[in-house]
Structure 1
Amino acid sequence: MSIPARILAFTGLALSACFPSVLVGENPLATDGPESSTGLESSTGPEPSTGAPTSGDPGTGEPSEAVCGDGVVDGDEACDDGNDEPNDGCGVNCTRTGEVAWTVEGAGWIEGFATGPDGTIYLCTFGVVNEPAFVRAFTPDGTELWSSSAPHPGEIAVSPTGQIFLANPVTGIHTFNPDGALVATWDPFPDVGIFGLAAADDALYVGTGDPEIEGQLVVHRLDLATGEPVWEAHTPEGITTIPEQLVIAGDRLLVPGYLFNDEGRRSMLAAFDRGTGEMLSLELADPAAPAWSSLAVFGDGDLALAGRGLEPDGLLVRRLTADLEEAWTDFTPYGTGTSPRPEKVAAGPQGHVAVVGYDAGDNDSAIVRLLDGEGATLWSSRFASPQDNERDGADGVAFGPDYLVVGGSISTEDEGGHVTSQWWLRRFVID
């Protein structure tokens, strides 16, 4: 995993350390004082009406005009809680938004995000000058359990037994026990780019490129106890693959992304047998040739995919059955001043789908969107900043039994071109 593109858009790097803090029932990135330290606010559309509430014309019997903020749900308002707090489930324009239960913050940005079988949240953070990377563990209520320095930043995976793995192409694969102690380092394929990591109860799966054949995708199975290679599988030569993630789905390994062959750009959902490494399929037929950014698996074996369409451009969310048949698709076209880019998708226990990323058409604002099991949007939050020198985005997402946890980073450039970054972790309420 590389430095987020939103941070690379700035030049220079000068990050100062700070301690994580938990903010409850406030603007997600606000300080304890009356003003926000970042100027961020959640927004989902145009400003609310500023006209005075009316009770109708007694002479004509005309109904009252809907006024957002009067505490009465009228007209096409989805909600009206009578306040202008944007993160309490009802936005400033009376549309449904995510209700933020708490936010934890720290210096740097998120390089890895994962959750364990018991709901523990794990982050790999990096980006503070003269400080190493850290692997951090949090309880579902936002309490930090521990932080452990890591040799280098990278993607995180957690096994069903709680063993933690961090992968970096320079320093190898580092294993931590559930208490955060570094117990081993493996280096089975040095200096090869790593795009995906997935841990099962008996194996660690790693997705890399081929050092000899440009564009070829390789999936490796490693022994979970020793890190020794068990097998490796390759996609065919002559096809350029752009993989995004490696996901365990029952007895298969799935890799979303896109590819280029003799017919041009095609949608990719590569599938491999977990036991043998045999490649089962490569393309996912779709005339729009979407570039899939992320994939998640439901408990019944169905799949949730998020990505970007090609013709027309826009954000795609799709649910597939276990045999890769389309159940539904939700499409949000790019418009004037809005260009939502998905980063990660998660599948919830009640059939919910959550998509997170950033809106590139609004100064790189973090976006979080929740859909129900039929593909209808339940709520959407956009954490917008009025400052041109700020970039924000969400990079990780996971469900709990009745909540959603999202991780992201915000970076700020000063007048001298130096960049400071801050990672954040938020819990949203699902009712």
Structure 2
Amino acid sequence: MKARAILLPFILLACTDSAAPSSDQGTDTDSEGSGTDEVGTETESESETDSDTGTDTEGTPVCGDGLQAGEELCDDGNDVDLDGCNSDCTPTGAVVWQVDLGVDGFDVAEGTCLATDGATVYFGGTLRNGFSTVGGFLSALNLDGELLWTHTQTAPINDCITTSMGPVVVSYIDEGLALHDSADGTQVWQANMPGAWHPISVADDGDSVVVITVSPAEMYRFGLDGALLDSANFSVPASDSQANVGVGPDGSVYVSGTDDDTGPFFVALDGSFEQQWRIDLPPETVLPIPTHAVGSESTWLSVSREAGNAAVLHEVSFAGEELASHVIDSEVAFDLAIDADHHVLIAQFLSSIVTKRGPDGAVIWTEALEGIPVAVDAVPGDLSVLSLELVDDLCRLTRRYR
């Protein structure tokens, strides 16, 4: 998911060379499952179970019988997800693997993006030497946490999105975007935004990618072959680094950012970049900028009040109607993601935690991080959670059970 690219140099945290993933299975779950004998009895009716070992007559573990056996990491006796022990007998929110990432130098992580098949996670960032930017890097890992390749370049990577052709990244220094080969990271093509600078956010709409720039504020649409398809001036005078873009299931483009004159905003544009609606919010944010995530049913927007007083989550329909709002006191929400079940994942900056909340805003689980959270994402299929954090002199990517 997208991270706040320009703000991260102020964090002054670094990454080191990549390391092998470590596993921590079921050690950091916050909630406890509440099993029921009734469900366990139903399971046994399908396969006769040894009540002492938690296995069937053939020695295969029976998930949901209340007895942990074999490769089960937990078994609370029911088939309910997100109650501490999921229906596949994996502990809610527990670490699957953890890997420290980066390349030589003082490197800043910018964000993650998942391949369209959900089998690869891409990780991009900035190569730094002290306070000087010297380049960028893009790495690919499989869902076992194994590093597949790392590509380095002379310009930093500020955002990435995956397409059917491979990962597309943007860089505000070389004023362009580039498609990389998913097999080895080599650059396939590079395109530049004419007459604009600082491309800061990119989104995929299936057949093309949408890029927003600042100074001036422009929207661009590029084909997956790098050809410029459309462009339009963006009517909101967003200041440097203060806009994020996402594409909805109907092709609408959603932009959140900060207007220099009026404060935080959230705007929906149609496929031709014509404004459909706009929401202006109280001018209370300072750092970081508003961020949003687009789901299959609605969008979620986070606005952090001045001095970290609170993070306010707004659920907004695709028609621009506010459906709900939730306040997280003394917090800054640095990144959001929405999984296939419409749960909201939040990287909470001040308390260094990752949380999962239900569609009603209620906390499902909370997991503490050692460093500062940068990005969060949801893996399609198994709905596991990826979080990226900066820990002292390294960048840490963690995969957790849903």
TM exceeding 0.5: yes
Contact 1:192 1:208 in 2 (8 A): yes
Change (3 A) 1:193 1:128: closer
Measured in 1, the distance between the counterparts of 2:366 and 2:177 equals 36
One-letter code aligned to 1:177 = D
Contact 1:241 1:258 in 2 (8 A): no
1:141-198 CA-partner distances (Å, limit 9, x unpaired): 2122222223322134334414221111222222112212211122233771122111
The answer to whether the aligner puts 1:373 opposite 2:359 as a matched pair is yes
| Aligned CA distance change for structure 1 residues 344 and 333 (closer, same or farther; 3 Å) | same
Counterpart CA distance in 1 for 2:187 and 2:147 is 18
Q: 1:305 to 1:9 in 2, by over 3 A?
A: closer
Equivalent position of 1:199 in the other structure: 204
Q: Which amino acid aligns with 1:381?
A: E
Q: Is the 8 A contact 1:6 1:393 kept in 2?
A: no
| Structure 2 CA distance for aligned equivalents of residues 17 and 258 of structure 1 | 33
Offset at residue 281 of structure 1 (A): 2.9
Q: Deviations over 1:184-227 (max 9, x none)?
A: 1222337711221112332221111134xxxxx32112233133
> Quick check: 1:408–1:423 contact (8 Å CA) kept in 2?
yes
Cα contact 1:97–1:381 (8 A) shared by 2: no
Alignment-derived partner of residue 230 in structure 1: 230
SS in 1 for 2:194: coil
The residue aligned with 1:161 is 164
With over 3 angstroms needed to count, the CA separation of the structure-2 counterparts of 1:3 and 1:310, relative to structure 1, is closer
Partner of 2:65: none
Q: Aligned-pair distance for 1:245?
A: 0.9
Query: What's the counterpart of residue 326 of structure 1?
Result: 322
Cα distance change, pair 125–21 in 1 and its aligned pair in 2 (3 A): farther
CA contact 1:240–1:259 (8 Å) conserved in 2: yes
1:102 lines up with 2:105 in the alignment: no
**Gaps spanning 5+ residues in structure 2: where?**
31-75, 77-83, 86-90
Is 1:367–1:394's contact at 8 Å kept on the other side of the alignment? no
Query: Per the alignment, in what secondary structure is the counterpart of residue 143 of structure 2?
Result: coil
5 Å matches for 1:30-429? Answer: 98-107=93-102, 108-119=107-118, 120-127=120-127, 129=129, 133-171=136-174, 172-179=176-183, 180-189=185-194, 192-211=197-216, 217-235=217-235, 243-249=242-248, 250-261=250-261, 264-265=262-263, 267-274=264-271, 276-282=272-278, 284-286=279-281, 293-300=290-297, 302-309=298-305, 313-334=309-330, 340-359=331-350, 366-384=352-370, 392-401=372-381, 402-411=383-392, 421-429=393-401
Secondary structure at the counterpart of residue 245 of structure 1: strand
Query: 2:42 matched to which residue of 1?
Result: none
The one-letter code matched in structure 2 to 1:111 is E
* One-letter code aligned to 1:140: L
Structure 1: unaligned runs, 5 residues or longer: 29-41, 45-80, 82-88, 91-95, 212-216, 335-339, 360-364, 385-390, 412-420
Displacement of 1:322: 2.0
Letter of the structure 2 residue corresponding to residue 428 of structure 1: R
TM-superposed CA distance for 1:370, in Å, is 0.7
Rounded to whole Å, the distance in 2 between the matches of 1:132 and 1:357 is: 28
Q: Judging changes above 3 Å, is the alpha-carbon distance between structure 1 residues 409 and 190 closer, same or farther for their aligned structure 2 residues?
A: farther
Q: Is the 8 A contact 1:241 1:260 kept in 2?
A: no
Check if 1:19 corresponds to 2:18. yes
Kept in 2: contact 1:196–1:246 (CA 8 A)? yes
- Segments ≥4 residues shifted beyond 4 Å: 1-7, 128-132, 239-242, 285-292
Contact 1:320-1:327 at 8 Å conserved across structures: yes
Identity %: 17
Distance 2:16 2:308 in 1: 43
